[in-house]
Structure 1
Amino acid sequence: MIHVTVWNEYRHEKTDEAVQEVYPKGIHEQLASFLKEEFDVKTATLDEPEHGLTEDVLNNTDVLVWWGHIAHDEVSDEIVQRVHQRVLQGMGLIVLHSGHMSKIFMSLMGTSCDLKWREADETCRIWNVNPSHPIVEGVGEYIELEKEEMYGEHFDIPAPDELIFVNWYKGGEVFRGGCTFRRGNGKIFYFQPGHETYPSYYNEQVQLVIKNAVKWCNPIDSTYPTYGHHEPLEEL
């Protein structure tokens, strides 16, 4: 069984009625609701002690799903470093929507991770440009969302290891909306949909992508490399 922790800052849902209407129990609970169909799932939020990401929680997490937006700066640098180290050791990380500006994603990418954006209730067509990849299994040629926040290029990230989706928006912009990266022993997937006032996480194709990504990000049974001074394998 894959052990998943869904992390959400859980701020919008407490103060914004429009968000409460879409995600009355919080974005994390909606994500957890469909992930629980296949995985062992726990949730964690910003205002819990250690943001809910204690060493014990992370040591027992195979894949961490991350959603954040208005409180990136409130995430402790100590916890960011803790998560960063677990990714290098092999824990999978799925970063959703505005999590592109989270401390953990920026620290792993080493760039600003900035982009163009616009909230205008635009159609978003998410094109599958890597149809043999496990993350898109069963998804089809594209996902069409009636409304989604526009994210546009240039997206200031390193060149992805694999480009999975390219998004098109009614206003004309395109965006690398699904990208994979490897850092140390860990696998990372960034996926664009998920603006807090749109029901993107109720879309079955979006849900399938996230489920597939959990399976892809799940660490393989491998040995973490040793570093530093090393004794010779052969007699010198």
Structure 2
Amino acid sequence: MNITVWNEFRHEKLNAAVAAIYPEGIHHVIAKGLQQEGVNVQTATLDEVEHGLTDKVLRETDVLIWWGHKAHEEVEDEIVQKIYQRVLEGMGMIVLHSGHFSKIFKKLMGTSCDLKWRQVGEKERLWVVDPSHPIVAGIGEYIELEKEEMYGEFFDIPEPESLLFLSWFAGGEVFRSGCTYSRGKGKIFYFRPGHETYPTYHNPQIIKVIRNAAQWAAPIVGPQLQFGKTDPLEKL
């Protein structure tokens, strides 16, 4: 399996507090956590040529992991369209935290993907609400994070095909924090935690969920999608 971890890589360069937690970037920590036998992990960032997502990179990527926040509008529409097409063809996609507002996630969802938020570090408990799903394999009843940014309902997304995590925050809010979708042949997982000023991606349980999700979202062998005019099937 070939995984590409994409990150804006802006906060780490501009904010000393973020750089202290992720000195080589959020993408580097996630990539390191995903490395294991049989898995090839590479990274790409916003300021690289074609955002690091050339035709060759996308063609060879089985699962794309996306972290974005402050520069969604800087992602070129042409690259978004190429990612979208690859998802329809079968590339898996994992969208993290504030990537909910990225161009590609909004295009895949067809909604505003807006929500409530509060950037005050508070306790979050991510309750597992579908213990039979492979993405939560090896996770207990919940994951507890001492400090995270609050996201709250209403979250303007389509009804998830599977809801895996429901978050509760110390302020009383709840949030659909782990949602799966399919588009064409591609599988998509949105996973909420991961604000840049907290060490969320150093948490082994968070990385385990992302690793499980990559295995789940990886392309499967199947028939090519056929559209348009076609000849009648042969009579049986």
TM-score class, shorter: over 0.9
Residue 134 of structure 2 aligns with which residue?
134
Match status 1:25 vs 2:10: no
Match status 1:99 vs 2:121: no
Residue 3 of structure 1 aligns with which residue?
2
Q: Deviations over 1:31-55 (max 9, x none)?
A: 1011113521010000111101111
- Aligned partners of 1:206 and 1:98: how far apart in 2? 16
Q: Deviations over 1:50-78 (max 9, x none)?
A: 10111110010000000000000000000
Paired AA for residue 140 in structure 1: G
- Aligned partners of 1:178 and 1:153: how far apart in 2? 13
Q: Deviations over 1:94-127 (max 9, x none)?
A: 0000000000000000000000000111000000
- Aligned partners of 1:121 and 1:229: how far apart in 2? 55
Unaligned runs of 5+ in 2: none
The alpha carbon displacement at 1:16 in A equals: 0.4
Paired AA for residue 97 in structure 1: H
Q: Deviations over 1:143-198 (max 9, x none)?
A: 00000000000000000000000000000000000000000000000000100010
Paired AA for residue 4 in structure 1: I
Residue 203 of structure 1 aligns with which residue?
203
- Aligned partners of 2:234 and 2:91: how far apart in 1? 33
Match status 1:186 vs 2:186: yes
- Aligned partners of 1:53 and 1:222: how far apart in 2? 25
**What is the aligned residue count?**
234
- Aligned partners of 1:119 and 1:70: how far apart in 2? 14
- Aligned partners of 1:224 and 1:103: how far apart in 2? 26
Paired AA for residue 15 in structure 1: L
Unaligned runs of 5+ in 1: none
- Aligned partners of 1:224 and 1:151: how far apart in 2? 38
Paired AA for residue 204 in structure 1: P
The alpha carbon displacement at 1:224 in A equals: 2.0
What is the RMSD computed on CA atoms of the aligned residues? 0.8
Which stretch of structure 1 is more off in the superposition, 32-41 or 151-160?
A: 32-41
The alpha carbon displacement at 1:223 in A equals: 2.0
Within 5 A, what are the aligned runs for 1:61-76?
Answer: 61-76=61-76
Paired AA for residue 21 in structure 1: A
Within 5 A, what are the aligned runs for 1:104-115?
Answer: 104-115=104-115
Paired AA for residue 21 in structure 2: V
Residue 13 of structure 1 aligns with which residue?
12
Match status 1:150 vs 2:150: yes
Residue 224 of structure 1 aligns with which residue?
224
- Aligned partners of 2:225 and 2:165: how far apart in 1? 32
Residue 171 of structure 2 aligns with which residue?
171
- Aligned partners of 2:120 and 2:78: how far apart in 1? 37
The alpha carbon displacement at 1:234 in A equals: 2.0
- Aligned partners of 2:224 and 2:168: how far apart in 1? 39
- Aligned partners of 1:196 and 1:88: how far apart in 2? 30
Query: Taking structure 1 as the reference length, what is the TM-score of the superposition?
Result: 0.98
Secondary structure of 1:117 counterpart:
strand
